[in-house]
């Protein structure tokens, strides 16, 4: 709980673009190593603005069960905000693939958690590797259906 409050305070002040960038990156690294996922609530109504420049993994849960694991890796183009908003849009931009269709159909049920990896090209590569690890570890139903 302390972790989430601390992170929210940092994000609210945009300190990850200030001199404290190194500290924040170490903070994110610690979060990843400790497997500290942050609940952002229901996907349909979650406030994604604070995560505009953050990249990493997200997982969707229904009734406490992990159904899908994905990554948000566009650090210069909206990060988690953009990726997760795609599922909520009226257009079908995120629903060209089976996973997007399934997620959109379950918007009311999905609880989303994020794992912030960072805000740079290095973090993109780390997020890609972590995504594979977590999918292998949890074997989410919607990831399997989308192959």
Between 16 and 4, whose confidence is greater? 4
**Residue, of 108 and 100, whose pLDDT is higher:** 108
Rounded Cα–Cα distance for residues 89 and 95 (Å): 10
pLDDT digits (tens, 9 = 90+) for 126-137: 899 899 999 999
pLDDT bracket for residue 26 (50, 70, 90)? low
Residues 83-99: tens digit of each pLDDT: 999 888 876 655 567 88
pTM: 0.76
Element (H, E) at 114: strand 111-118
Q: Is the pLDDT of residue 40 over 80?
A: yes
List, as own/partner pairs, every contact residues 17-24 make where C-beta atoms lie below 8 angstroms and the sequence separation is at least 24, other chains included.
17/53
């Amino acid at each position: 709980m302390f972790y989430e409050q601390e992170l929210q305070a940092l994000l609210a002040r945009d300190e990850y673009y200030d001199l404290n960038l190194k500290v924040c990156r170490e903070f994110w690294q610690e979060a990843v190593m400790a497997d500290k996922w942050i609940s952002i609530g229901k996907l349909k109504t979650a406030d994604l603005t604070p995560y505009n420049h953050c990249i990493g993994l997200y997982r969707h849960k229904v009734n406490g069960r992990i159904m899908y694991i994905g990554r948000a890796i566009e650090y210069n183009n909206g990060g988690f905000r953009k990726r997760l908003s795609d599922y909520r849009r009226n257009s079908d931009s995120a629903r060209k693939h089976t996973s997007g269709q399934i997620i959109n159909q379950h918007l009311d049920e999905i609880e989303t958690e994020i794992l912030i990896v960072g805000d740079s090209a290095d973090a993109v590569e780390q997020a890609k590797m972590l995504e594979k690890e977590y999918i292998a570890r949890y074997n989410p139903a919607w990831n399997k259906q989308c192959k």
